[in-house]
Structure 1
Amino acid sequence: MKTIEKAVQSEINIKKSQFICSLFPTKSKKESKEIIQKLNQQYHDATHNCTAYITNDGEGYDDNGEPGGTAGKPMINALRKNDLHNVTAVVTRYFGGIKLGAGGLVRAYSKSVLEAIEASEIIEVEYYDVYNITFDYSDLKDIEREIRNSKLTIIQKDFGEKISYDLVSKNNKNIKEIFEKFHNKIKVNFKNKQVLKKIK
């Protein structure tokens, strides 16, 4: 799955109208709506703040007063064309006095998003099941060896009273089964699903 690494902004001017595209990595509709609301406040003096988003739990777009189908739809199509997920696009328009017509608007909003995508760092991400394992310091060597042999990836380490690792398996091996041989020496719990940069 492809997404953008971090938020970017780009600007184009067409027939005296200014189009500012802000792209954000977002995982949920809730997150998208919060960003859209924030930008509506930031650019409250703009003629239009048109939006499009594709996230884990849905997608949507809004023409924000532009003629139907001339803004939000071309914006979401630009995201789809680039196979992007978990991303929110907001194009802020300051009208320059010259009407662009329906075709001109479609091209302008589409171009605005494509320029921002061009300026973005595109990354490959995948969903991984994250497991937490907890064990004694005396078992560290054996556990580390097992992690290497099973080609597991440690994404977080915590050294407290006991050692705690958050692990993912890039081959989607069953992490619980891997550590069964340690019997009661190790606690293995499913933690959550996370979108992580693709683990090479």
Structure 2
Amino acid sequence: MFQLQARTVAEVEIRKSRFIAVLLPVESREQALRELAAIRQRWPDARHYCAVLLCDGDSMLDDDGEPSGTAAKPMYNVLRHKDIVNVLAVVVRYFGGIKLGAGGLVRAYTQAVNAALAEARLLPLRRMRRMQLAVDFADEARLRHACREMGLAVSGQRYAERVWLGVELPDDEWQARLAELADRMAGALEAKPDD
């Protein structure tokens, strides 16, 4: 999976219609709706603002008045094919007076998003698994040091009968990383998934 490093904008003209594709990294639907409102203000006299959101289990497809399935669905297909997440894609259309037909619209919206992606810098996104690790109080500093050496960020702590530290492990190698931590702690480590 990939995500955008930064906002990307590209424009294509097809039979006198302008298609301005804007791709933005987003973290939530609320942020996406704010960005969409800002795009509508930036190009206030456009005819359509077709949008696709793919974000952390949330999605949105909006043809914004274009015939159903001719705008958002092709945009969605491009993003899914490129395996991009945490993204808002908006294509702003200025109608040029010539109707494109359903097939022409599908090609135009696909081309606009592809043009923006050609300018984009994509970052690989690594899925992480959150875990809670417990050690005796005397071993807390040693566990924190081991996490730091392994490049694992500690995301919180809870003190009870033992010290519990929250960490994120790369999902594709969490078992090996957990085994390495247990070795460093001489087996005195308890681990459970973070609910």
Q: Do 1:6 and 1:121's aligned partners in 2 also have CA atoms closer than 8 Å?
A: yes
Q: Supply the distance in 2 between the matched residues of 1:32 and 1:144 (Cα, whole angstroms).
A: 36
How far apart are 1:181 and its partner, in Å?
4.2
Q: Does 1:172 align with 2:174?
A: yes
Q: Does 1:111 align with 2:107?
A: no
When the two chains are superposed, the root-mean-square deviation of aligned CA atoms in Å is 3.5
How far apart are 1:31 and its partner, in Å?
2.2
Q: SS state of the match for residue 172, structure 1?
A: helix
2:40 aligns to what?
40
Counterparts of 1:118-133 in structure 2, within 5 Å, are 118-129=118-129
Q: 1:97 to 1:153 in 2, by over 3 A?
A: same
How far apart are 1:106 and its partner, in Å?
0.8
Q: Does 1:62 align with 2:83?
A: no
Q: Do 1:153 and 1:168's aligned partners in 2 also have CA atoms closer than 8 Å?
A: no
Counterparts of 1:14-163 in structure 2, within 5 Å, are 14-129=14-129, 142=142, 146-147=146-147, 152-155=150-153
Q: Do 2:131 and 2:169's aligned partners in 1 also have CA atoms closer than 8 Å?
A: no
* More deviation, 87-96/122-131: 122-131
Q: Do 2:51 and 2:88's aligned partners in 1 also have CA atoms closer than 8 Å?
A: yes
2:4 aligns to what?
4
1:111-130: CA deviations, max 9, x gaps? 10011111111111123246
Q: Supply the distance in 2 between the matched residues of 1:109 and 1:121 (Cα, whole angstroms).
A: 20
Structure 1: 5+ residue stretches without partners: 134-138, 157-164, 183-187, 193-200
Structure with a larger share of its residues in strand: 1
Q: SS state of the match for residue 106, structure 1?
A: helix
Q: Supply the distance in 2 between the matched residues of 1:146 and 1:18 (Cα, whole angstroms).
A: 55
1:162 aligns to what?
none
Q: SS state of the match for residue 125, structure 2?
A: strand
Structure 2: 5+ residue stretches without partners: 134-139, 155-164
Count of residue correspondences: 178
TM-score normalised by length of structure 1:
0.71
Q: Do 1:153 and 1:167's aligned partners in 2 also have CA atoms closer than 8 Å?
A: no
Q: SS state of the match for residue 20, structure 1?
A: strand
How far apart are 1:29 and its partner, in Å?
2.2
Q: Do 1:24 and 1:88's aligned partners in 2 also have CA atoms closer than 8 Å?
A: yes
Q: Residue 53 of structure 1 aligns to which amino acid in structure 2?
A: L
Q: Do 2:25 and 2:88's aligned partners in 1 also have CA atoms closer than 8 Å?
A: yes
